[in-house]
Amino acid sequence: MKPRGKYGIDAPWVPWLWIGIAAVSAAVAVAFGLWGAGWWTVALAWYFVACTVVYLIGAGLYWHASLLGKFAIWDRLLRRVSLSTGDRVLDLGCGRGSVAIMTAIRYPEASVTGIDLWRVGDQSGNSRSAAEANTALNGIGERLAFDTGDMTSLPYPDATFTLITASLSLHNIHTPEGRRMAIQEAVRVLAPGGRVLIVDIQRTREYAAELQRLGLTVSGPTRLGWRSWWTGPWMAATELDAIR
Ligand SMILES: C[S@@+](CC[C@H](N)C(=O)[O-])C[C@H]1O[C@@H](n2cnc3c(N)ncnc32)[C@H](O)[C@@H]1O
């Protein structure tokens, strides 16, 4: 299910922040426990023990979602697609290549392109060479190419791709105009009858509205279960499936 290679951690500082908060919370719990000034210090000690556990579980869920959950989810989503010889696939914000490589493995008849700006804050060890190394490890080199570029201004002609995927990348564009431009660009390079699959932790309603405005038929946002909980159900990824 998970291709060979190293795919990093998405926004790698987040789980460490949760571990840091858990450590502070544990220290406060111990302080209240040792204070022993009455029932209320005992109650507060237990409250901070509970907070510590929640933060530790949150960090664990985040690492799970990034290292395993994301791959299980895309494995499920990619099964829905059917591609023929000559079909072209574009992965927006491909990072170290996870979804692009999974697509190229599942559909040997298709050619896949991943585009990214390779921001290291968005994925640890993010680089074109890391994506290419993962591609080589999976033996699909000639069917998968990477381009350095911005998904708000795609360097491809109109109607080029049959399938466009975006995994946890669109929310990294920080302005609504930028996200709208990325969706418009995706639709511009999508062939008639083509499909867009998006997984994201934020703003999938916004993407759905723009896709609908541009004339696509959209299913979702649909929740993806606990494996997509980036710390907890309050940060659950959802998917969109849109057909032109
Ligand atoms: C959280 S990572 C996800 C990477 C990959 N899709 C995955 O699921 O493993 C988000 C990616 O989006 C890329 N990204 C952010 N803004 C971008 C933009 N405007 N154009 C292209 N890529 C972008 C980042 O460099 C990063 O690789």
Gap from CA of 41 to ligand 1 centroid (Å): 46
Same domain, 47 and 150: no
73 part of a folded domain: no
| pLDDT one digit per residue (tens) for the chain, 244 residues | 899 999 999 999 999 999 999 999 999 999 999 998 899 999 999 999 999 999 999 999 999 999 999 999 999 999 999 999 999 999 999 999 999 999 999 999 999 999 999 999 999 999 999 999 999 999 998 899 999 999 999 999 999 999 999 999 999 999 999 999 999 999 999 999 999 999 999 999 999 999 999 999 999 999 999 999 999 999 999 999 999 9
Residue with the nearest Cα to atom 19 of ligand 1?
150
71 part of a folded domain: no
Q: Which two tokens stand for residue 226?
A: 């606990």
Gap from CA of 115 to ligand 1 centroid (Å): 8
Q: Is residue 71 within 6 Å of ligand 1 at its C-beta?
A: no
Same domain, 203 and 94: yes
51 part of a folded domain: yes
Residue with the nearest Cα to atom 20 of ligand 1?
150
Same domain, 61 and 155: no
What string of H, E and C letters represents the secondary structure of 111-153?
Answer: EEEEEECCCCCCECCCCHHHHHHHHHHCCCHHHEEEEECCCCC
Same domain, 89 and 148: yes
Count of structural domains within the chain: 2
* Bond before 221 cis per omega within 30 degrees: yes
Gap from CA of 38 to ligand 1 centroid (Å): 52
125 neighbors 100 (Cβ within 8 angstroms): no
Which atom, in ligand 1's list, is nearest to the CA of 11? 1
10 neighbors 123 (Cβ within 8 angstroms): yes
- Which domain does 154 fall in, by range? 83-243
The enclosing domain of 226 has a CATH number of: 3.40.50.150
